[in-house]
Amino acid sequence: MSVNIREIKNGSVKKEFKGLKWIVAGIAALVVAANSFAIVPAGNTGVVLTLGKAGITGLDPGFHLKVPFVQTVECMSNKIQVYETPASAVSSDMQNVSSNIAVNYRLISSDTPKMYEDVGLDYQTVLIAPTVQECMKSATSKRNAEQLITDRQSISDEVKTALDNALNEYGIYIEKFNIVNFDFSEEFNNAIEAKQVAEQNLLKTTTEQEQARIIAETDAEKKRIAAKAEADAILAQAQAQADANKLLEESLSDKVIAYEQIQKWNGVMPKVTSGDSGLLINIPLDDTQSSSSYTAPEKTSVSEDNE
């Protein structure tokens, strides 16, 4: 039995070609299948692009089907993002102010498709950066350098409100705005330092003067209290003496006085001289001399002596 070699070769070629078609078809099917769905990660919103045109609504996180090769899904993060940048401005008293600021923001999910269509993916450079600089300059220009230091929190709140008003319409929400620091020129820093030193010296001087005043008032009060106490003591002593004298005066009588005189008599009679007659009476009361031996002195006439 003879075998046709050409028929055998043709049959092998047909089988190989048929197998290749299935392989190609399988690969094509895999490619189509791979492009028929999209997975949106958590914290993101999927923007459906149909031949490059953004859809009206976004896709929530999860698995989604799409038209292969016609539709694509662009994922945009709705998580909080941080934008940090330096900023420069001029205060109301014409001081150059440099600052470092940080903005915490996120994209609003429902507005993400519109954000992509109007701005694209580079929204930080296109929208956030210039708006932050403008709002910062506006808030800084309303205050002098000293107020910028003392009112930092109110400035932050004001800038955050301004950013929200400017960016919310684009689908950007400001979570928080922080002014990390303010920097001024070297001349201004030296002036601030000199002012602080002067205020500290003034406070020290005022404190010392107040202390000296308190000490002086305390000493004066002590002296006043001491003087009053002494005066009260003298008055009390005088009152006591007056009361004693009054009591003594009320208790005295003629008999008491006579008795006191007798108690104090030493037994010697007093000598009495008469101015009219010139008589001198001497009454000795010694124990050795009796009353019967008393001799009256002679009377001498003044007129006879003169003659």
Q: Poorest-confidence range of 64-78, 83-97, 107-121, 265-279?
A: 265-279
Q: Report the candidate in 127, 123, 79 with the shortest Cα–Cα distance to residue 104.
A: 79
CA distance 198 to 200: 5
Q: Using one digit for the tens of pLDDT, what is the confidence trace for 50-98?
A: 888 888 888 889 888 888 888 888 899 999 999 999 988 888 888 888 8
Domain layout of the chain by residue ranges:
5-76, 78-184
Q: Contact, 37 vs 65, CB < 8 A?
A: yes
Q: Using one digit for the tens of pLDDT, what is the confidence trace for 219-255?
A: 888 888 888 888 888 888 888 878 777 776 666 666 6
Q: Using one digit for the tens of pLDDT, what is the confidence trace for 189-205?
A: 677 767 777 777 788 78
Helix ranges (DSSP H) in the chain: 5-34, 112-118, 123, 129-141, 145-150, 152-167, 186-251, 254-264, 302-306
CA distance 150 to 146: 6
Q: What is the DSSP string of 109-120?
A: GGGHHHHHHHT-
Q: What percent of the chain has pLDDT over 70?
A: 73
Q: Contact, 76 vs 121, CB < 8 A?
A: yes
Question: Hey, what amino acid is at 277?
Answer: S
Q: If you average pLDDT over every residue of the chain, what do you get?
A: 78
CATH architecture of 78-184: 2-Layer Sandwich (3.30)
| Whether pLDDT at 1 is above 90 | no
Which DSSP symbol is given to 170? G
> What does the pLDDT read at residue 107?
93
Which DSSP symbol is given to 51? T
> What does the pLDDT read at residue 236?
82
* Calculated CA dihedral for residues 299, 301, 305, 307, nearest 10 degrees: -150
> What does the pLDDT read at residue 185?
73
> What does the pLDDT read at residue 184?
78
Q: Using one digit for the tens of pLDDT, what is the confidence trace for 3-62?
A: 455 555 555 555 666 667 778 777 877 777 777 778 899 989 999 988 888 888 888 898
> What does the pLDDT read at residue 193?
66
Q: Report the candidate in 77, 76, 135 with the shortest Cα–Cα distance to residue 103.
A: 135
CA distance 110 to 57: 7
Q: Which residues contact 142 (CB under 8 A, 6 or more apart)?
A: 92
Instruction: Give 178's strand partners.
Output: 102
